[in-house]
Amino acid sequence: MATRLCSCTLPLLLLLLALKQSPLHASDTLTTNQQLSGNQKLISQDGSFALGFFQPAGSNGKWYIGIWYNKIPEQTSVWAANRETNDRNFVVLVNHSKSPIRSTNIKNNTAVSSTVAVLLNNGNLLVRHESNTSAVLWQSFDDITDTWLPGNKLSHNKKTGIVKRMTSWKDRGDPTPGMFSIGLDPKGSTQYVLLWNSSVVYWASGNWTGNSFIGVPELSPTNSYPNSGYTFQFVDNDEETYFTYTVKSDVQIFTRAIIDVSGLFQAFVWMEAAQAWVTFFTQPKAKCSVYGMCGESSMCSENAASSCSCLKGFTENNPNNWILNDNTAGCRRNVPLKCVNNSTVTKQDRFYLINNVKLPDSADIVNAANIHDCELICLSNCSCTAYSHNGTCLVWHDHLMNLQDSAGGSSDRIFIRLDASEIPNSGTKKWWIMCIIIGGFIILSLGITIVYFLYKRSRICSINQGDGPLISFKYSDLQFLTRNFSERLGAGSFGTVFKGVLPDTTTVAVKKLEGFRQGEKQFRAEVSTIGNIQHMNLIRLLGFCSEGAKRLLVYEYMPNGSLDKHLFDSGSVTLSWKIKHQISVGIAKGLAYLHEECRDCIIHCDIKPQNILLDASFIPKVADFGLAKLLGRDFSRVLTSMRGTIGYLAPEWISGEAITTKADVFSYGMMLFEIISGRRNLEHRETSMETFFPMLVARKLLEGEVPGLLVEGLINGADERELERACKVACWCVQGNESSRPTMGEIVKILEGVIDVDMPPVPRYLEVLAEGSENVKFFSYEATK
């Protein structure tokens, strides 16, 4: 352990060591009679953060002391001690000899015995007086490293001129200050700037307008991204200027902003479901605009899978860092140039041409009549590494920095100087070209063959996985995504639905199931089945949560809400007949898919307007499969307990008979009456229509007076033939004998006019309902038994 302590510098502000040995247990406070060693650590009161020894990936066995997230399995440091080389308030003790090898005094000559170090729940480490909590001598938030936590400030002190900025690590395994930093403009403007080597500005936020930064409107206090639990604040007063952000206390999330070793300023949120940090903000968005991100002798390509690549004849300086996406060390030559002195034009060096590039920085302009003279000028100087000629001769000496692939946006070209052995002769080059052409033809033929067989196999209904497997969310994830369930979309018998926003700005609907008594294993099995069902008229399930007694489902969001609002709410836009017909056919197609096309027949059991959602184009999506039961192909019926919604229940529900897909057909028919009329079937109010509407439809069909429905003004702009077909379908669907009802597949064909259907008899069930409210009460009572 002595070696470990000696190999890193420990701040007194973090490690208050005394000669007396006293073991440290899990605590947020370090006093003068305690020591921190080995795997011991301070832990904040709520357990969010820890302080102790850590070993970054790629550190080559070196240990550092710092602060990291304690509840996250992927070790993520937020602060590292003594990144600079100065000796500000530090003491290091050898564990066995107990003799200091370096020490200085805390400011104001404060007695060590009167101070304690406390790790707060926000990740800030305070050194303060033991008896006076307000007497803070030092805090890690004032010694910001590469990470910006909620509650901390990026500031400019107007009196002292000190700019508190974030500075990247040197590389992935070394917290020493790197080349990139972000802070308020040291020139005094109200904008934030990203700097390379504390001198070159490669991105600026634009000045503060009073509500947002010109170049970053999403970070305004009124438009907090991603419209969730964040609050941003910009303050400009006589003392200082600063920008800060906080997370609402009722939202349990971990979030951080960093200046990465690649020079990108990024913000992350921890997603429990993915067990990973998810990026929701990055600047600059064009990675290649980061100065020196790819280092020397490399090419930056904005649209390539890997942004940085070494030039021909060069190899990564630090391959391990490149694997960790840290390219700032750049590339080195494979073969040194043969140039001996500046007076001799050597034939050992040649030039490699790269077309369509944005030229590197720091070029020198020289006089040359043509491109040949420009080449000779470069060859005559051993420090010349490249040249370009486009009417003007440009040469580069020693370093090539910020060479970019313009992806066709520029006609500039550059000649890179290499040893002759790095450039193959023309014969070899032609041979390689032929190999590439032949190989490409073989790969293309193979690809076409594979695509053909994949297409043949893709016509399997129920194995379609959509956009990927279901996501198993943690409850805390859904709290964050829904802003602690603050925006309610609607509620039903089995739960309430809330609006949520994923980190990629995708809007979702989160349903909290209430009174759900299924065990976790059964719940996951049914959810898995639902997740594998993919059809344009069925709502898509994206994920779920099963945590303790909590059961939640995450669906795609439907901007036009549920069908019942558009049919029954007076404030909603009246649906045209064209839209109503589209909705009727779409619902039928969705149910036909469930009943007839999937590997396992699925009965929905609760078809009603509240369970039909509409997308932006009013395409219907059948939703809420919470009541669905699976039927194997070898079984035609299944007994189930009484469920469903009054007004849509088939007679067999009430009589206790076995339920088949024809129960859904009955419910669809009752709903179709409501789609046609725009009013509830069991609604009791004073209107000009004295007859129960489904019964009115049945009678007018028999009398051949369907156009009379149009006279009543119930159907605006209706096609008379489509209306008659819909009325016939509704009446056939609600026949008391289930064998008389059509299948959903037949209903689709009838509504689309593919097949015709006979005139239906007046359903006995409608006659009973039409006789009066007492019968309605009877059916309601029986249905709830």
Residue 734: what pLDDT?
92
Specify the length of the chain in residues. Answer: 785
Question: What tens digit of pLDDT does each residue of 358-404 get?
Answer: 898 888 999 998 999 999 999 988 899 999 998 899 999 988 988 98
Least trusted range by pLDDT, from 44-53, 70-79, 423-432, 723-732: 423-432
* Per-state percent for the chain, helix, strand, coil, to nearest 5: 25, 25, 45
Residues 461-500 pLDDT 10s: 322 333 456 888 888 889 888 888 989 888 766 678 999 9
Tokens of 265: 């300023």
> In the prediction, which pLDDT does 22 show?
40
Q: Which one of 146, 174, 564, 606 is the catalytic residue?
A: 606
Alpha helices in 160-290 (DSSP H): none
Average pLDDT of the segment spanning 418-429: 70
pLDDT of residue 134: 82
- How confident is the model over 642-656, as pLDDT tens digits? 445 667 888 887 676
Comparing 645 with 559, the larger pLDDT belongs to 559
| Percent of the chain residues topping a pLDDT of 70 | 75
- Around Cβ 390, how many Cβ atoms within 10 Å? 12
Contact 613, 623 (CB under 8 A): yes
pLDDT of 745 over the 90 cut: yes
pLDDT at 712: 53
Q: How far apart are CA 232 and CA 236, in angstroms?
A: 14
How many angstroms separate the CA atoms of 209 and 140, rounded?
A: 30
Predicted pLDDT of residue 90 = 35
Q: What DSSP letter does each residue of 358-409 carry, written as one string?
A: EPPSS-EEE--SSHHHHHHHHHT-TTEEEEEESSSEEEEES--B-EEE-TTS
Give yes or no for residue 584 having a pLDDT over 90.
yes
- Over residues 717-742, the mean pLDDT reads 90
d(CA 110, CA 13) in angstroms, rounded, equals: 12
CA atoms within 13 A on the CB side of 48: 15
**In this predicted structure, what is the pLDDT of residue 460?**
27
When mean pLDDT is compared over 79-88, 418-427, 727-736, the highest value belongs to 727-736
Average pLDDT, the chain: 78
Residue 782 has pLDDT above 80, yes or no: no
Backbone φ and ψ for 233, nearest 5 degrees, come out as -145, 130
Q: How many CA atoms lie within 13 A of 735 on its CB side?
A: 15
Q: How confident is the model at residue 89 (pLDDT cuts 50, 70, 90)?
A: very low
Q: CA-based angle 79:80:81, to the nearest 5?
A: 125
> In the predicted model, is pLDDT for residue 228 greater than 60?
no
Active site residue 467: no
Q: What is the pLDDT of residue 515?
A: 63
728 has binding-site annotation: no
pLDDT band of residue 431 (cuts 50, 70, 90) is low
The pLDDT, as a whole number, for residue 732 is: 94
Indicate the pLDDT class of residue 537, thresholds 50, 70 and 90: very high
Give the pLDDT confidence of 129-139 residue by residue, as tens digits. 888 878 888 99
**If we measure between CA atoms, which residue out of 426, 422, 425, 428 comes closest to residue 348?**
422
* Residue recorded with tokens 């080059």: 429
Q: Which pLDDT band, with edges at 50, 70 and 90, does 415 fall under?
A: very high
Say which range, 239-253, 333-347, 504-518, 540-554, has the weakest mean pLDDT. 333-347
Residue 25 has pLDDT above 70, yes or no: no
Residue 448 pLDDT > 50, yes or no? yes
Residue predicted with more confidence, 686 or 134: 134
Share of the chain above pLDDT 90, in %: 28
Q: What does the pLDDT read at residue 703?
A: 79
Tell me which residue of 108, 479, 177, 193 sits closest to 328, measured CA to CA. 177
What is the token pair recorded at 468?
Answer: 């990927």
Residue 510 has pLDDT above 90, yes or no: yes
Q: Which residues of 702-731 are buried (b: 16+ CB within 10 A; e: fewer)?
A: eeeebeebeeeebbeebeeebbbbbbbbbb
Is residue 458 pLDDT above 60, yes or no? no
Question: 175: closest CA among 311, 54, 310, 337?
Answer: 54
Report how far residue 197's alpha carbon sits from residue 584's, in angstroms, rounded to the nearest whole number: 65
Tell which residue, 712, 611, 603, 729, has the closest CA to residue 664: 603
